[in-house]
Amino acid sequence: MDFISELLIYFSFGFAVLRLLVASYNLLSNPVLDKRGANNSSITTQNSSLLLSILVPARNEEHTIRFLLESLQKQPFQNFELIILNDNSSDQTSNIVTEFARSDTRIKLIEGKPLPAGWLGKNWACHQLSQASSGQLMLFLDADVLLVEDAIYKALSVISTHNLSLLSIFPEQKIISVGEKLTVPIMHYLLLSLLPLDFIYYFNAPSLSAANGQFMLFNSIDYRKYYFHEMCKSEIVEDIRIMQEIKSNGLKGRTLLGSGLVYCRMYNSYSEGIKGFSKNLLSGFGNSKLGLAAFLLLVIVIPISMFFKAINLSLIYLFFALSIRVCISITSRQSVMDNLIFHFGQMAALTLISFKSIKNSYTKTLEWKGRKLG
């Protein structure tokens, strides 16, 4: 083996050890909403009297919106206004929301205005929702999210206790089909092996940022001062950018896992997962094609080459790789066995997603829900 090959193997092993340490830290620190937030019996009277604005952009969500509305009506915390923006849907989304609004005066349906130049659809929808809200707190939810038990109470306790401007939650993913098992776990695989989630709160560096637009709880005073969705109006991955802006402006943000309290089924098939993740993967690497390429080199290319050049080393590396999978699977409440069985398939999917993400950055042809994103 030549010097360059040996050096690359050392780098690959070093990176694997570092990622295992990060994954182990996240496992041991357990950054989960259910563990960090107080329940409804412990919540302060002040928080109980707050008006919460729950804001949901909805574009062709007839298959999911009903379940979200039902889950919100069952929450122990009930002092909220619920505003759904119908973003030019062509299905029954509007009719379903109208049906709920007839029997629940807290629910309001508004129609989205035409998309202005320079805006992406979801950011424009969220900006309109923020202008229609009146609560002291704003909770932006995707229409395919479900909240159970006292998720809202616990989120309110976290944002109050830690004086946060933004609390973002990564929902526990419902993973059913084989196609989902090959794609959806990649999100937590990257997140929980590259970033100790507590560092987002404890360190002010904007580079230490992660967030999930499926659940974003804002202090309304801070939001209305900056109007973060307007600030990031052309960003495909607005959630990470918003957390970076939060920290850049000296505010505090925190990101937790929603395991057991907040659920979502992001994609229903392999093709949906590939397309969905390819629109935001590159942004997760700071839009650095070199950074993404280096990650693939250290995590996929070099380990494969090891198998042909040094089988003993490749087996040791495999131990580190699978240990990372075990830690992340436990932390995110995903099936350990599924993620071990499908690990190599997930790495193949990650490679495909990476190439598509890089291609999209050049061609600017990506579409999502019938709209061009770039």
Structural domain includes residue 193 = no
30 CB-near residues (< 8 Å, 6+ apart): 331
119 CB-near residues (< 8 Å, 6+ apart): 127, 233, 234
**Same domain, residue pair 17 and 58:** no
**Same domain, residue pair 258 and 281:** no
Structural domain includes residue 109 = yes
Q: Tell me the pTM.
A: 0.93
**Same domain, residue pair 342 and 250:** no
Domain residues for 20?
3-29+272-369
82 vs 112: CA distance, rounded Å? 15
Q: How confident is the model at residue 43 (pLDDT cuts 50, 70, 90)?
A: low
Structural domain includes residue 357 = yes
The domain tally of the chain equals 2
Only one residue has tokens 């957390």, namely: 243
Query: What is the Cβ-side half-sphere exposure of residue 28, based on CA atoms within 13 angstroms?
Result: 6
pLDDT at 36: 80
**Same domain, residue pair 151 and 300:** no
**Same domain, residue pair 61 and 97:** yes
**Same domain, residue pair 23 and 82:** no
Q: What digits encode the pLDDT tens for the residues 206-244?
A: 999 999 999 999 999 999 999 999 999 999 899 999 999
Q: How confident is the model at residue 184 (pLDDT cuts 50, 70, 90)?
A: very high
CATH code of the domain in which 161 resides: 3.90.550.10
**Same domain, residue pair 229 and 291:** no
180 CB-near residues (< 8 Å, 6+ apart): 265, 267, 268, 269, 270, 273
**Same domain, residue pair 252 and 284:** no
Per the prediction, the chain carries an average pLDDT of 93
209 vs 212: CA distance, rounded Å? 11
Q: What digits encode the pLDDT tens for the residues 60-101?
A: 999 999 999 999 999 999 999 999 999 999 999 999 999 999
Q: How confident is the model at residue 50 (pLDDT cuts 50, 70, 90)?
A: confident
Q: In this structure, are residues 66 and 143 in contact, taking their beta carbons and an 8 Å threshold?
A: no
**Same domain, residue pair 341 and 300:** yes
Structural domain includes residue 207 = no
Structural domain includes residue 181 = no
**Same domain, residue pair 244 and 258:** yes
pLDDT at 51: 95
